[in-house]
Structure 1
Amino acid sequence: MATHAVYLLRHGQTEWTVSGQHTGRTDVPLTADGERRARLAGKLLREMRGSTEPPALVLSSPRTRALRTAELAGLTVTEVTEALAEWDYGEYEGLTTPEIRERVPGWRVWTHPVPGGETAAEVGARAAGVVDRARAARSTGDVILVGHGHFSRVLLATWIGRPAGFGVHFGLEPGGIAVLGDERGEPQIVRLNVPPIGF
């Protein structure tokens, strides 16, 4: 039984995070506050891990906001992978939910189509691959995944055997950390949305 944990680190704040714009493929940089929170998140991660051993695996989304967060958090990324990229919002990229609802009343990313983008099932399939890889690597050490808001929430749902849409029930703020593990073989969300120190 693995005794190590999987840590999810959401990238720090961006201007589009503040405005509520859906940010998938667009490479929006961190704000000054986003950079500050990324540094603080790194300090918190080190304290939470309580180990001087390097993680067995550190994966990051290829988007600059994720890579910069990893860098500022003091992480050495093992691999950059599209598997950790944010949900592809297709035609809704850059739009806020109220703007989308002007076209499609009641629209939610969790339950409605995303023209030209990914379905919840497709995002869930990506998350399942990441979870499988994290579980395998966790047998030899901690795993850290640096990514995005919606996709990380799908990862949380996938970890406990729920469909992608179940991610609506979890929150993960910019720079926030979630910890995944298990209890006697049952997958568990050990901690959720832990804010950086000094948040």
Structure 2
Amino acid sequence: MDHRLYLIRHGQTEWSVNGRHTGRTDIPLTPTGEEQARATGKTLEKLRDGPVTAPARVLASPRRRALATAELAGLAVDEVTEELAEWDYGDYEGITTEEIRETVPGWTIWSHPAPGGESAEQVAARADRLLAGVRETLADRDVILVGHGHFSRVLVTRWLGLPAVYGVHFGLDPAGATELGDERGTPQIKHLNVPS
């Protein structure tokens, strides 16, 4: 594989600041998130060793926080896809982990179900479908995926061939960039959570 896969998490939102689970809810970036998104374009140029507009296939989640991040970073989105949407938190949408733990001690998205939402296995299957298409494109050019925190962490695990729940071990900050590639055919993390 000659080309690389880049994951960009959307910039800061009001809910990412206060830790509320944000899956389906379509909220905008904060002013800080907008600044982060602009800076991510420069980060991506450094990682790719060329202009952000250099040939790449760019896919984005349909949530406006992801689309705004792509636009402010200087990326032209080729495809908007639900496959890149954040983990569906179901009944826990808009609620913090601390609030959930008041009734489910020790709860995390990695270790417990989200009633009415996606399971880790369902999220992994979605990531696998997305990565199957991405791998085909990587034969010709780089791919940039603009999405969300938890789902991007699952993408990292599935790229490496690990179970989705291993995503707990990878942190991704708002507007952080990750570069995935390989070493002689073995999937590899080249850079993880590079700040904007």
**TM-score, with structure 2 as normaliser:** 0.97
Query: How much has 1:69 moved relative to structure 2?
Result: 0.2
Q: Is the 8 A contact 1:56 1:138 kept in 2?
A: no
Query: How much has 1:51 moved relative to structure 2?
Result: 3.3
After superposition, the C-alpha distances for 1:48-77 in whole angstroms (9 at most, x for unaligned) are 212357333110000000000000000000
Give the match for residue 27 of structure 1: 26
Q: Counterpart amino acid of 2:4? A: A
Query: How much has 1:183 moved relative to structure 2?
Result: 0.3
Alpha-carbon separation, structure 1, partners of 2:155 and 2:19? 21
Query: How much has 1:89 moved relative to structure 2?
Result: 0.3
List structure 1 runs of 4+ shifted beyond 3 angstroms.
Answer: 51-56
After superposition, the C-alpha distances for 1:90-137 in whole angstroms (9 at most, x for unaligned) are 000000000001111111101111110000000000001111111111
Give the match for residue 153 of structure 1: 153
After superposition, the C-alpha distances for 1:2-24 in whole angstroms (9 at most, x for unaligned) are 21110000000000000000000
Alpha-carbon separation, structure 2, partners of 1:83 and 1:54? 24
Give the match for residue 67 of structure 2: 67
Alpha-carbon separation, structure 1, partners of 2:55 and 2:171? 25
Alpha-carbon separation, structure 2, partners of 1:177 and 1:123? 20
Alpha-carbon separation, structure 2, partners of 1:134 and 1:171? 22
Identity %, equivalent residues: 63
Give the match for residue 85 of structure 2: 85
Q: Is the 8 A contact 1:55 1:144 kept in 2?
A: no
Flag structure 2 segments of 5+ consecutive residues without an equivalent: none
Give the match for residue 35 of structure 2: 36
Q: Residue 49 in 1 paired to residue 35 in 2?
A: no
Alpha-carbon separation, structure 2, partners of 1:45 and 1:51? 8
Once superposed, what is the RMSD of the aligned Cα atoms?
A: 0.9
Alpha-carbon separation, structure 1, partners of 2:42 and 2:194? 12
Give the match for residue 120 of structure 2: 120
Alpha-carbon separation, structure 2, partners of 1:135 and 1:51? 22
SS at match of 1:41: helix
Q: Counterpart amino acid of 1:88? A: D
SS at match of 1:66: helix
Query: How much has 1:46 moved relative to structure 2?
Result: 1.6
**TM-score, with structure 1 as normaliser:** 0.96
After superposition, the C-alpha distances for 1:135-194 in whole angstroms (9 at most, x for unaligned) are 111111110000000000000000000011010000110000000000010000110010
Alpha-carbon separation, structure 2, partners of 1:69 and 1:185? 31
Flag structure 1 segments of 5+ consecutive residues without an equivalent: none
